[in-house]
């Protein structure tokens, strides 16, 4: 039985929930069992935004889990808030160009990516979260790239139709995100 | 003599003949008010489509007083039950019947919001300046200086504020195009009935109506007949008896 | 009267609040009365968004007090009406709920539990269990379905309307913020396709016929003059409630047949328990689950049978033992020792339960 438990955390406005939605929609369309809980405390505007996602082959039991397989931390506050979901089997991803510190947590692996910098300098600040989605995809292989592209088409299709170059921009962001993890593997 | 004793009482059709003797205290204003309301229902011929809701407090004793489909609710909650009903059944004429406590204290939010939304119903607040059923405590409309169980030395407005004027408040926030708002008194039953007729006609036209009825409570006031109506006259000076809003077609 | 939107089996990926709105439509609900409170808002949002297609009604009231009482008004008018609330809203709606209980009004309410007491969190809890079952100044003559996910939400919301209108006791779908806000796949269906027909509604006021010609005027009340008069009424209700209990009670057992350690949990926590039980079984620990679905009334006989078979029981809740309190009373006379894992207003994970049961198993050796 395979189940991937994902925590995505960042500041409000970083697009954490949008990425989570695309991810779980992709999982749903791919025929997987999926379960997604957005955090929705009174902190939701101006606080740490967290998405708890599960993608599995069989029926998912617990809606909230104690420890994640991959925890993505996109701000200093997200590091502080989400270290509790990390154990020795977790992979931790953090953005080196946003966070001012490295997560000091015992875990399987810590991956630093400079997605924010890349987005700002090479693509567009708006696709920061799509780079993160690429990172997540490559780090977990929980879904196929095609599944994600289909879900992006569903979520952003209208915008793509109006501005076809947006599609290319998003695809490029996705691929660059995947590349960040692949390159790390080659080191 | 025996002929007279067996004469049937002259009851409006919308009043329940089976109740027998009134359950209200001797001299209570509810009997007068309800009879005037029943006559108004008769006059408009709306008995078969009227739903009557009564509150907690003395008004709950009206639960079987009318020959109308009736529901007795909780303290202050008759207004939402009745607008819940008329929202679901827009053909119905809804009447919410309550005292000054139910209308202006515990149920005030419903009165305010039903007014603002222009709910298609008639709200009747029978104002006898005290909580009768619970033994005569101060209510929002207790007169300055009036002795009640919780103001045994007279209502001190420097402590409690001044009496609430329901009709003025409702008139201030109601839509004048669609709302009938009036204050009437049990001192003039025919006029009271006419006020109810207008109020119900406005509801039939799709509007919102509010009638505050100045009423009497000799038991808790501890007044005899003369003093009771003397005090009612004082109330009529303090609470202006008039039609505040009368929309066209009423 | 209303247009049903789901005409054939439709798999969708929805939040639980959305599922509840669709379920109410599939149950041919005609009117919703509501007041905003997190985490149930999207039930109203979805209901309102669908109105042009369904032709149903909605009223946003001034508070939960009026949401409850206007729901009663709608039901008295013969509409299949409902409301939804949570937390502090559920507290002040008890006023209306007790009237529904006293007057046998088929009141249907979805409760999406949030943390308590007071404002607490808007997120999640199981702390309205006792309130929903026994709130108000009454005896808890209510039916409460505790759901554990989106298929349950759909199934039991439809069922709640039929239970309420058949037995005339207030009926609840008791869920929580997780279920309301989370998204997972669900199959929506036309109840008729499952052999479910909706119990017809009746008008309590302004029913058919002319007053004084075909019928007398209806005088509905919740006030009584005499103590004995009240007890007479309530004895009748009690007898009806007990007679009904065997018919409506529902429960789920998971690997409970040979369980040495029986986990007793309801709602979404029972789902975590299933995850834990699979893991514990792999480790050679015979764990099982008893999940009451109707937490009011409880399925007492199967509950006692399952507990009798086990060597130990574990109560686990996102509350300080609100279900346990109700269950323990029904286990009077049994000697099975029990442990507790209570996390007030916090989700119970599979890992939490695994760790707890492992320690119980170790202590028993």
In this prediction, residue A1 carries a pLDDT of 54
Chain B partners within 8 Å of C219 (Cβ): 16, 63-64, 70, 72
Fold of C10-194: Rossmann fold (3.40.50)
Q: Tell me which residue of B64, B66, B17 sits closest to B38, measured CA to CA.
A: B66
Q: Domain map of chain C by residue range? A: 10-194, 252-364
Judge: A64–C275 Cβ closer than 8 Å, yes or no. no
Q: Is A175 exposed, middle or buried (0-12, 13-18, 19+ CB in 10 A)?
A: middle
| pLDDT mean across residues, chain A | 92
Nearest to B53 by CA among B113, B107, B17: B107
**Looking at the complex, does the CB of residue B118 fall below 8 Å from at least one CB of chain C?**
no
| pLDDT (0 to 100) of residue B10 | 83
Q: What stretches in chain C show pLDDT beneath 50?
A: none
Res. A173: pLDDT tops 70:
yes
Domain span holding position A22: 3-186
Locate tokens 């011929």: which residue?
Answer: B45
Nearest CA among C179, C210, C135, C188 for reference residue C22:
C188
Are C184 and A64 inside 8 Å of each other by CB? no
Residues of chain C whose beta carbon is less than 8 angstroms from a beta carbon of chain A are: 13, 38-39, 121-123, 149, 177-179, 181-185, 268, 271-276, 278, 347, 349-352
Nearest-CB residue to B84 (from C30, C33, C219)? C33
In this prediction, residue B2 carries a pLDDT of 59
Predicted TM-score of the model (pTM): 0.94
Q: What is the pLDDT of residue A47?
A: 78
Q: What is the CA radius of gyration of chain B?
A: 17
Helices (H), chain C: 16-26, 41-54, 64-76, 87-103, 129-134, 150-167, 177-181, 227-248, 268-282, 300-309, 322-330, 350-364
What is the tens place of the pLDDT at every residue in A95-147?
A: 999 999 999 999 999 999 999 999 999 999 999 999 999 999 999 999 999 99
Q: Residues of C with CB below 8 A from B63's CB?
A: 219-221, 223
Q: Is B109 an 8 Å CB contact of chain C?
A: yes
pLDDT for position A43? 54
Q: What is the pLDDT of residues A39-55, one digit of tens each?
A: 866 655 667 899 999 99
Domain containing residue A96: CATH number: 3.40.920.10
Instruction: With CA atoms as reference, report the closest residue to C267 among C319, C210, C212, C200.
Output: C319
pLDDT score, position C171 = 98
Q: Residue A94 phi/psi, 5° resolution? A: -140, 160
Residue corresponding to tokens 């001299």 = B27
- Are C183 and A66 inside 8 Å of each other by CB? no
Task: Suggest the residue from C35, C64, C65, C66 to mutate for an interface test with chain B (most B CBs closer than 10 A).
Answer: C66
Confirm or reject contact between B81 and chain C (CB < 8 A): yes
| Phi/psi at C98 (5° precision) | -70, -30
The total number of structural domains that make up chain A = 1
Residue ranges in chain B whose pLDDT is less than 70: 1-5
Please name the helix (run of DSSP H) or strand (run of DSSP E) that holds residue B51, with its range, or none: strand B50-54
Q: Which residue of C has its CA nearest to A59?
A: C275
Identify whether the C-beta of residue C30 lies closer than 8 Å to the C-beta of residue C22.
no
Contacts of C229 in chain B (CB under 8 A): none
pLDDT at A13 over 90: no
Alpha-carbon distance A122 to nearest alpha carbon in chain C (angstroms): 34
pLDDT given at position A48: 87
* Residue C199 CB neighbour total at 10 angstroms: 16
CATH of domain B29-245: 3.40.50.970
CATH number, span C252-364: 3.40.50.920
């Amino acid at each position: 039985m395979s189940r991937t438990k994902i925590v995505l955390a960042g500041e409000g406005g970083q697009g954490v929930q949008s990425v989570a939605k695309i991810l779980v929609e992709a999982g749903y369309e791919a025929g997987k069992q999926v379960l997604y809980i957005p955090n929705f405390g009174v902190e939701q505007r101006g606080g740490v935004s967290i998405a708890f996602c599960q993608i599995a082959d069989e029926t998912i039991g617990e809606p909230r889990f104690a420890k994640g397989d991959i925890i993505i931390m996109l701000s200093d506050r997200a590091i502080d808030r989400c270290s509790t979901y990390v154990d020795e089997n977790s992979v931790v991803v953090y953005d080196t160009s946003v966070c001012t510190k490295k997560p000091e947590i015992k875990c399987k692996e810590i991956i630093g990516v400079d997605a924010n910098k890349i987005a700002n300098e090479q693509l567009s600040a708006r696709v920061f979260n799509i780079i993160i989605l690429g990172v997540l995809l490559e780090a977990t292989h929980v879904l196929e790239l095609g599944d994600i592209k289909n879900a992006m088409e569903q979520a952003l299709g209208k915008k793509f139709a109006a501005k076809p170059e947006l599609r290319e921009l998003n695809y490029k962001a996705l691929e660059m995100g995947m590349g960040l993890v692949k390159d790390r593997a080659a080191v | 003599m025996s002929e007279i004793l067996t004469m049937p009482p002259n009851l409006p059709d919308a009043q329940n003949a089976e109740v027998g003797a009134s359950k209200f205290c001797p001299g209570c204003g509810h009997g007068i008010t309800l009879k005037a309301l029943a006559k108004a229902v008769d006059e408009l011929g709306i008995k078969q489509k009227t739903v009557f809701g009564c509150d907690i407090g003395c008004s709950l004793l009206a639960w079987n007083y009318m020959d109308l489909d009736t529901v007795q609710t909780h303290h202050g909650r008759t207004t939402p039950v009745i607008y819940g009903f008329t929202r679901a059944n827009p053909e119905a004429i809804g009447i919410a019947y309550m005292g000054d406590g139910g209308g202006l204290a515990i149920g005030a939010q419903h009165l305010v919001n039903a007014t603002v939304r222009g709910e298609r119903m008639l709200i009747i607040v029978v104002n006898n300046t005290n909580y009768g059923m619970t033994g005569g405590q101060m209510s929002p409309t207790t007169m300055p200086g009036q002795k009640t169980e919780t103001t045994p030395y007279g209502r001190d407005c420097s402590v409690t504020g001044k009496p609430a004027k329901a009709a003025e408040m409702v008139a201030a926030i109601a839509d004048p195009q669609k709302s009938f708002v009036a204050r009437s008194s049990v001192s003039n039953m025919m006029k009271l009935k006419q006020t109810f007729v207008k109020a119900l006609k406005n509801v039939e036209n799709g509007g919102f109506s509010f009638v505050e009825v100045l009423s009497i409570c000799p038991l808790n006031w501890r007044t005899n007949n003369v003093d009771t109506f003397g005090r009612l006259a004082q109330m009529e000076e303090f609470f202006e008896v008039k039609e505040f809003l009368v929309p066209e077609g009423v | 009267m209303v247009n049903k939107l789901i005409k054939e089996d439709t798999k969708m990926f929805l939040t639980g609040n959305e599922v509840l709105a669709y379920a109410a439509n599939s149950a041919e609900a005609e009117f919703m009365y509501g007041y905003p409170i997190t985490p149930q808002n999207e039930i109203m949002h979805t209901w309102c968004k669908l109105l042009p297609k369904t032709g149903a009604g909605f009223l946003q009231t001034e508070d939960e007090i009026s949401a409850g009482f206007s729901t009663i008004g709608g039901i008295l008018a013969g509409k299949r009406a409902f409301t939804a609330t949570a937390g502090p809203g559920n507290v002040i709606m008890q006023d209306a709920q007790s009237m529904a209980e006293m007057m046998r009004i088929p009141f249907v309410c979805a409760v999406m539990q949030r943390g308590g007491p007071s404002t607490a969190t808007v997120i999640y809890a199981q702390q309205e269990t006792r309130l929903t079952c026994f709130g108000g100044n009454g005896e808890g003559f209510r039916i409460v379905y505790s759901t554990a996910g989106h298929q349950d939400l759909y199934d039991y919301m439809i069922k709640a309307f039929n239970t309420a209108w058949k037995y005339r006791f207030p009926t609840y779908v008791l869920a929580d913020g997780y279920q309301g806000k989370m998204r997972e796949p669900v199959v929506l269906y036309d109840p008729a396709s499952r052999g479910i027909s909706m119990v017809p509604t009746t008008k309590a006021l302004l029913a058919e016929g002319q007053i004084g010609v075909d019928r007398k005027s209806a005088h509905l009340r919740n006030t009584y003059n005499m103590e004995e008069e009240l007890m007479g009424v309530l004895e009748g209700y009690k007898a009806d409630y007990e007679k009904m209990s065997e018919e409506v009670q529902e429960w789920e057992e998971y690997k409970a047949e040979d369980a040495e350690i029986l986990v007793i949990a309801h709602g979404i926590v029972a789902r975590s328990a299933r995850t834990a039980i699979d893991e514990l079984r792999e480790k050679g620990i015979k764990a099982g689950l008893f999940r009451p679905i109707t937490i009011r009334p409880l399925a007492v006989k199967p509950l006692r049978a399952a507990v009798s078979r086990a060597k130990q029981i574990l109560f686990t809740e996102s509350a300080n033992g609100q279900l346990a309190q109700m269950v323990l009373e029904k286990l009077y006379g049994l000697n099975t020792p029990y442990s507790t894992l209570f996390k007030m207003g916090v989700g119970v994970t599979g890992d939490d339960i695994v760790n707890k049961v492992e320690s119980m198993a170790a202590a028993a050796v």
